[in-house]
Structure 1
Amino acid sequence: MNLYGFFKFLVGFILAILLLAGASAAAVLYFAAKLTRMPEKPIFQNEKPVVQKVSTSPQPTVATSNTKSANENELAPGTYRAIVVEPIGLILRDTPSRNSNRIGGISYREEVIVLEESSDKRWQKVRVDDGSDRIGWVSGGNTERLD
């Protein structure tokens, strides 16, 4: 075997190793990017908005319903409307502590009414603004004021 043949073998071997290493790195980066992407939030049947049938007969209007809706739009002093900005949603707790009982959850981009904040601003007492009047504590800094 001459020197030229040995040189060709060495260059070919090094190129093959570099090609395998590059392809392996590209495959690892591709799969890592696929696995670190957040999946779409699933929509279940019980989360879809309920469609109400529109009746053709006129419904009688009640004066108390107008005053009730006007009162619902007014907030008590010190409270404000906010929206959940945490992409995975929030856990609703019965007291402002990580060890407290979980009493529900709040979805991403759901509107809430912030009733009060803890003295250290780590917790917010909120009421879910979906007609269910669920009240509880959530971790502070995960809502954004709407007003």
Structure 2
Amino acid sequence: MLSSLLKLILGFLLATAVLLGSGLTIALYFVNRTAIAPARPTFANDNPQTKPDKPKVTQVKATSIPKPTPSSTPSPTPTLSESPDSLPPGAYQGIVTWSQGLSMRDQPTLDAQSVGGVAANQKVIILEESPDKNWQKIRIEGTDKEGWVKAGNSKRVD
């Protein structure tokens, strides 16, 4: 009878040790999983410090292209197209001074649709001002994105 009692106590202690050990292992696993920081999300209006990759251009070899004769085909006249970096008359370069960046709108009103954003300290081209001088039409430098922002949140850069 003593050996049966000893086996019962030993079996109970062994089962308790196995349950505690596995419970502790599972708890440590979940604690370690929650300690890992998630990746930082990126948003469309973030200001990346690197320029976007240029699209890859593959060159195509021409096998035989007939050369036009100068008398038969008129040469097209070159057209002047405005590049995104050129300044229209009356426009000037500026920089966003509002520390949280600005929302660009399609019309110079607070109720207008948002068309994008400009980060703080980003260079812009100020194209025009609204008649009441409360809004400025800007173009983000190096792009063709244009929109209206509240006046007073940018300064002129020489």
- Shorter-chain TM band: 0.5 to 0.7
Q: What is the percent sequence identity of the aligned residues?
A: 37
Per the TM alignment, residue 45 of structure 1 is displaced from its structure 2 partner at its CA by: 8.9
**Structure 1 residue ranges, 4+ long, deviating more than 4 angstroms after superposition:** 42-46, 71-74
Q: For residue 130 of structure 1, report the CA deviation from its aligned partner.
A: 3.1
- When normalised by structure 2's length, the TM-score is 0.49
* Aligned equivalent of 1:135: 146
1:95 aligned partner: 107
Q: Please state which structure has a larger fraction of its residues in helix.
A: 1
2:127·2:139 contact (CA, 8 Å) conserved in 1? yes
Q: Which residues in structure 2 correspond to 1:35-114 (within 5 Å)?
A: 44=42, 47-49=48-50, 50=52, 74-114=86-126
Name the amino acid aligned to 1:93: R
Structure 2 counterpart of 1:142, which letter? N
Q: What's 1:145 paired with?
A: 156
Q: Whose radius of gyration is greater, 1 or 2?
A: 2
SS of residue paired to 2:90: coil
Q: 1:45 to 1:116 in 2, by over 3 A?
A: closer
Equivalent AA in structure 1 for residue 155 of structure 2: E
Quote the offset at 1:75 in angstroms.
1.7
How far is 1:120 from its partner?
Answer: 1.4
Provide the secondary structure at the position in 1 that maps to 2:111.
coil
Unaligned runs of 5+ in 2: 1-39, 55-79
Aligned to 1:119: 131
RMSD of aligned C-alpha atoms?
Answer: 2.8
